[in-house]
Chains A and B, each alone.
Chain A
């Protein structure tokens, strides 16, 4: 079970990573993240959209209205160049953190 504080820190990475695979609208974004993390990261409407709007305000993602094949209008988000630039170092930081924590837990177990 991932604690609230850790989830908040990884939320931006999760959004940027999933959008790195291609543009998505909010609902599908939340579904994919939940599926790919096997339920560890779950976004409700209340947690997702403030985050998306904040990231849009920062210029990391951009939302545009599109009409799907079934005629439904959805706001689709995609990474901006600034968001793409943000993703790689953010990912690297988290990888380093996890690596450091893993080493720490090995030392603690020894």
Chain B
């Protein structure tokens, strides 16, 4: 840093000398660029060591996503306590699809909350929608890992049964809730786009 500043001062001095200014005056003008060297040292130190305590990704994705996740899982707990009987959809072939309908009905709100918080933090459209479906992302990741592992490890059950089980669980706990969360997120996107039809300059 010192070498860099010294180079800058040298070049400034040489330029002044090339303009015909005397050595003494050139030194004075060069040094006058900095009125308080201690203050400069502090500002440079702060600039070099300061890290943003919260990056954009945390504000635009992780925080809204985790809040949405907590909210939706909290609602699921409440629903399971007060409406313990899930809705069961029996298909022609087993297994069956099981839904907690009251929970599903609250998911547009959860998705909207995540999308709203993300959008407020200045997120892109894609990031906003990812935030809205955050509650199902961990489950989706589990299924993406568990399905292949389950198919490989299941010796006693046929692969068809294992695959069908994962498909129905995935539909009931990832696919359908994810679509509903996304609907909430899309609604927020629509409201935001209507509020600011052209890309305006925001202050503050």
Query: Among the listed stretches B45-53, B88-96, B107-115, B138-146, which one makes contact with chain A, having 4 or more residues with CB under 8 Å of it?
Result: B45-53
B 167-204 contacts with A by CB, 8 A: 199-201
Query: Among the listed stretches B4-12, B66-74, B150-158, which one makes contact with chain A, having 4 or more residues with CB under 8 Å of it?
Result: B4-12
| Most chain B C-beta atoms within 10 Å of own C-beta, residue among A27, A72, A75, A92 | A27
Residues of B close to A102: CB separation below 8 A: none
Q: Is the CB of B200 within 8 A of A96?
A: yes
A 33-74 contacts with B by CB, 8 A: 44-46, 48-51, 53-54, 57-58, 63, 72-74
Residues of A close to B46: CB separation below 8 A: 50
Secondary structure of the A contact surface, majority rule:
helix
Residues of A close to B8: CB separation below 8 A: 26-27, 45, 48-49
Q: Which of B1, B3, B7, B51 contacts A27 (CB 8 A)?
A: B7
Flag whether B35 is at the interface (Cβ < 8 A): yes
Residues of B close to A97: CB separation below 8 A: 201
CB distance from A9 to the nearest CB of B (A): 10
Q: Is the CB of A57 within 8 A of B47?
A: yes
In the bound complex, CA of A96 to CA of B1 (Å): 37
In the bound complex, CA of A45 to CA of B201 (Å): 31
Q: Is the CB of A57 within 8 A of B4?
A: no
Q: Is the CB of B7 within 8 A of A74?
A: yes
| Minimum CB distance partner of A48 in chain B | B8
Q: Is the CB of A51 within 8 A of B34?
A: no
With A57-B51, A72-B7 in contact, do A44 and B44 touch (Cβ < 8 Å)?
A: no
CB distance from B124 to the nearest CB of A (A): 11
Q: Which of B9, B39, B50 contacts A57 (CB 8 A)?
A: B50
| Minimum CB distance partner of B41 in chain A | A50
With A54-B47, A54-B50, A57-B48 in contact, do A93 and B7 touch (Cβ < 8 Å)?
A: no
B7-49 vs A: 1/0 string, CB under 8 Å? Answer: 1111110000000000000000000011110011001101111
Q: Is the CB of A75 within 8 A of B51?
A: no
In the bound complex, CA of A49 to CA of B39 (Å): 13
Chain A residues with CB under 8 Å of chain B are 25-27, 44-46, 48-51, 53-54, 57-58, 63, 72-75, 92-93, 96-97, 100
**Known A46-B43, A53-B47, A72-B7; 10 more pairs at CB < 8 Å:** A26-B7, A27-B11, A45-B8, A46-B33, A48-B8, A50-B44, A57-B48, A57-B50, A74-B7, A92-B199
Chain B residues with CB under 8 Å of chain A are 1, 3-5, 7-12, 33-36, 39-40, 43-44, 46-52, 199-201
